[in-house]
Amino acid sequence: MMTAEELARACARVMWDDDRASQRLGMSLDHIAPGAATLSMTITPEMTNGHGTCHGGYIFTLADSAFAFACNSYNQRAVAQHCSITYIAPAVEGDRLTATAREVSRRGRGGIYDIRITNQRGEHIAEFRGHSRTVKGTHLTQTENMQVSQTDTK
C-alpha cells in the first residue's frame, strides 16, 4: 500500500506526462503532496500584453495548473467547478512566478483550494480560489498502483 505522499507523487507523474499546456508554457512542477502543489513559470515576451505586463490569463493558467495538481493528488479524478482570481500586483517579462496551492476543505465530492502567486522576490502577485468536483475515474490502475509502490520503495 502506498503512503499518501507516494500516491500524490504517482498521480502527479501521470498527470504531468499528459499536461501539454503546462509543459508548453514552460511550467515546472516543483512540489507535490496530498492536497498541495507548487508550480512555477518564467514570464516570456510572448506572455506580455499592451501594458507591458504579464497578461492575466497566463497568471490564471499557472494558478489553475497548481490547483489541478493539488486536487488530483488522491488518485480520484477532479475537475474545476468554479475558479476566481484577484490580481494584486503586475508581473513583468523575466519574472519567475510561483503558484502555491493548499487545500482548504475536502468533503464528499467537493474541495476548496487557495493558490497564492508570488514572484521571485516573494512579492504577492495574485490570489486564486478554486472549487473542485470529483468525477468518475482514477489516475492509477490497481496494477500501476502496485508497480509504483514497489518502485518508490527501492
Residue with cell 493548499: 102
pTM (global) more than 0.85: yes
Closest CA to 35 of 105, 102, 135: 102
The type of residue at 98 is T
Helix and strand numbers (H, E) in the chain are 4, 6
Say whether 84 sits in a helix, a strand or coil.
strand
Q: Give yes or no for a contact between 12 and 37, defined as CB atoms under 8 angstroms apart.
A: yes
* Widest Cα–Cα separation across the chain: 52
Residue 144 has pLDDT above 60, yes or no: no
Confidence of residue 12 (pLDDT cuts 50, 70, 90): very high
pLDDT tens profile 100-125: 999 999 999 999 999 999 999 999 99
Q: Cα–Cα distance between 128 and 63 in angstroms, integer? A: 7
Round to whole Å and give the CA distance between 14 and 11.
Answer: 5
